Structure 1
């Protein structure tokens, strides 16, 4: 037993010593190292060689395949006519701003010139009166007053001639009308873009209307300014002479037109011709004649005052002083009545109103002259537009047409105007 126990102890000690020796001589595992062959670099392109010039790499990327996208795609669902109409809208907006600004500027002209000329005239008149009261004994001071008054009357005469030539109040009214009509055209184009499908004919029609407005209400003063003193009133024309037919399609077989509606429109045209247009032309001619008299009288009176003050310098006649003072005062009154009362603006207002009724006549007549009702504007819509432009309801418009028909049959005068707006 003792021998077996000793042998076991020997085996255990030998096994433990062998484990210790094995642990002492064990070699740690080395990390696995992977070797990869270097990749061959591709040859540089010309653009890369330019970027790496002088050994420095340029960080600005070069786009090799750059394709520019056009603003208007050919395959776009929006037609070219729509883009053209938007371009016309931008031009119209610019014209509205220009006419508005120039109208304000010319309104300032009217105010400043009126006040300046009146101040010069009244100052010269006062100086003439002071010189006449002072008499001969004052010497050099009186001579200075006489010379100064003569110069001031002459300056007032020249300024008044220029002011009467251009008629600032009439210029202001022209710009107001142009602004309103351009805004109206702008609204029509926006409506067309919103509810319709525009075509090239609509673009051409809009262009013609813009150019017609430019011609009717020019911005420059030199060369193309409207004649402020024509022989007689001519209605303003701001629309193309040949208007394209309206493109509204029919909802019924006759496009809303009946024989009764055509007769009604013809009677409305007759009322406009006999009453409204004739009345505004008559009033416009009266305003024109009054403006001519005032425009001639103002410079004439200041010229007489300048001559009177000049005679005061050479001769101390009391009549010369009286003529100069009275003429100067009258010139100031005439100038105030003409430009303060804006007689030129009144004439331009009548001229524009006569043009409005002329446009209505041509619009109705051109529509009725179209034999194919399918090419006309819808009859019910057209009747409503005419009634709104004349400030009437549909029933009132029909009553006016009936009264016109009865008056022509009976030979009695028509006592009612077509328009109730103005």
Structure 2
């Protein structure tokens, strides 16, 4: 059994630690923060096999250009001469074609369905109560254009074996009679689910500590040593850590970590915002996605969590209130009686989604170092794909055949 060092204590790092420990490995996790407020905590908690279309799509290019000029839009790329952003943008443009979408659908679906099954298994384990609810997700739309696009996606989803149904406004109303609607209809992604990310992360941390996994917070990696194609040690917080196998699972910080080894992991941080509103009225019981507004709403912990936006920029601590207002203002257009107030700045959570240029995660061995595995780049689906990525990472390090084919996720793909 191997001694494994994981850099990154978000959902990917902790899920990898969980499955590695179960496989009998000795595991240490290093994280630059306190492991209590990563991107894994503030997300919408959605498990989404329905999301088999990568970010890089033909329509996203023209739509993205239009959104660039709207300060409240759901997607924004801050213009910059940053060479990484330019490289990312060129690859995004190269991959934004129908062939890429077609070739990505099966591997993304397989990864998502594996993850959902693993979350179901995990929720049955003692100590893992994280409010997993399998009522699906409703993708609401207001325009004929969105209705047509969503119906087409639902048809593709059914071809992939996913349970999806196109509903009229009346059929939506029957599912949640208390929720006032102003929509044309919705696609019910019955294959999807949701959970409480805060409870999941707390349960993972508690289990790992009890199981003897070393979790070292506020331990930022500053140097990585290597020799003859192998990683030989990691310097963090003035200590040296050595292991047999190393994993980079640092989310949006992964490119900076990889650069310590002179390798390039092409990612851009996509800032997203969320905020919680106490709501015990039970009017919304099924999570909602707002098609045109790109907003997510999830019933969670006795309230509703609102989230959205994708702001590609360097990692920073700025809160763009216009984007938060964009989320707030979109909600009553779909649900007239849901009128969240603009939250105070202190109540707004933000995090950075590690977004690969082609919309697929990186999962696999690095071709540069024989004992280095990379597990990052999940974009908005880090939580959704966390369990599957953890299992696959454990299988890679254990030298086992992986449960699904991971060629599409190769870290060194072109």
Structure number with higher helix proportion: 1
TMscore range, shorter length:
under 0.3
TM-score normalised by length of structure 1: 0.22
Kindly name which structure, 1 or 2, has the bigger radius of gyration based on alpha carbons. 1
Higher relative contact order (CA closer than 8 Å, sequence separation 6+): 2
Indicate the structure with greater strand content: 2
